[in-house]
């Protein structure tokens, strides 16, 4: 089993809301979103490296969209 944690500074507390509608179970992998002291954490568990990569790609794609939308004025 693979485990990973991504931490992102999130002073506006927007990430947890954005990920609330995302599918958190992807076949052999899953993740949980939690907040603590101005950061959002993604706790990932995966059965194999391919499943881990799938979840990491899913999370980072959404983070990229959120980051780009923050630059729109």
CATH classification of the domain holding 26:
3.30.310.50
71 has pLDDT over 90 = no
State residue 13's pLDDT score: 81
Burial of residue 42 (number of CB atoms within 10 Å: 0-12, 13-18, 19+): buried
**Mean of per-residue pLDDT scores for the chain:** 88
Number of domains in the chain: 1
For CA atoms 43, 46, 48, 50, the dihedral sign is: negative
Domain encompassing residue 36: 2-70
Residue 19 has pLDDT above 90, yes or no: no
pLDDT at 54: 92
Point out the least confidently predicted range of 16-20, 48-52, 60-64, 68-72.
68-72
């Amino acid at each position: 089993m693979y485990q990973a944690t991504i931490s992102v500074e999130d002073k506006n507390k927007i990430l947890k809301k954005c990920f609330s509608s995302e599918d958190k179970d992807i076949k052999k992998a899953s993740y949980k979103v939690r907040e603590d002291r101005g950061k959002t954490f993604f706790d990932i568990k995966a059965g194999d490296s391919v499943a881990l990569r799938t979840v990491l790609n899913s999370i980072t794609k959404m983070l990229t969209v959120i980051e780009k939308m923050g630059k729109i004025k």
